[in-house]
Amino acid sequence: MVTRSIRDRRRAFTLIELLVVIAIIAVLIALLLPAVQQAREAARRTQCKNNVKQIGLALHNYHDSLSRLPAAVIFRGGANQNRPSNNGDALFNNGNLGPTFLVSILPYIDQAPLFNLLDLNNPMSAAGNNSTIRTANIPGYICPSDPSAGTKLNRWINGAPWARGNYAAALGSLHFNVDTQWSSDSNSSKGAMGWGSGARMADFTDGTSNTVMVWEVLAGPADTDSRGTWAMGRYGSTVVGGCDNQGDCYGINDKGLDGEDIFGAVRQAGQISAHQGADYQACPRSKHVGGVHALMGDGACRFISENLDYNVHRALNSISGGETVGDF
Among 113, 132, 112, CA closest to 122: 132
Give residues with Cβ within 8 angstroms of 230, minimum separation 6: 100, 102, 103, 138, 141, 163, 164, 165, 167, 237, 238
Determine the Cα–Cα distance for residues 2 and 309; give it in Å rounded to an integer.
81
Burial (CB count <10 Å: 0-12, 13-18, 19+), residue 311: middle
- pTM for the full model? 0.84
State the pLDDT at residue 99. Answer: 94
State residue 325's pLDDT score.
81
Q: Give the pairing type, strands 167-170 and 97-100.
A: unpaired
Q: What per-residue confidence (pLDDT) applies to 275? A: 60
| 132 Cβ contact list (under 8 Å, min separation 6) | 114, 117
Alpha helix (H) residue ranges in 186-283:
none
**Terminal-residue alpha carbon distance, the chain:** 79
- Residue 10, pLDDT score: 54
How do the pLDDT tens digits run along the chain, 328 residues long? 445 555 555 566 677 777 888 888 888 777 766 655 666 778 889 999 999 999 999 999 999 999 999 999 887 765 444 454 444 444 555 677 889 999 999 999 999 999 999 999 998 999 999 999 999 999 999 999 999 998 999 877 788 899 999 999 998 876 554 556 777 778 788 899 988 899 999 999 999 999 999 999 999 888 888 889 999 988 889 999 888 887 778 889 988 777 788 877 877 655 555 565 667 788 999 999 999 999 999 999 999 999 999 889 999 999 988 887 877 7
**pLDDT at res. 192:** 94
| Dihedrals phi, psi of 169, to nearest 5 degrees | -75, 145
pLDDT of 1:
47
- The pLDDT score that the predictor gives to residue 4 is 52
- What is the structure's pLDDT at 9? 52
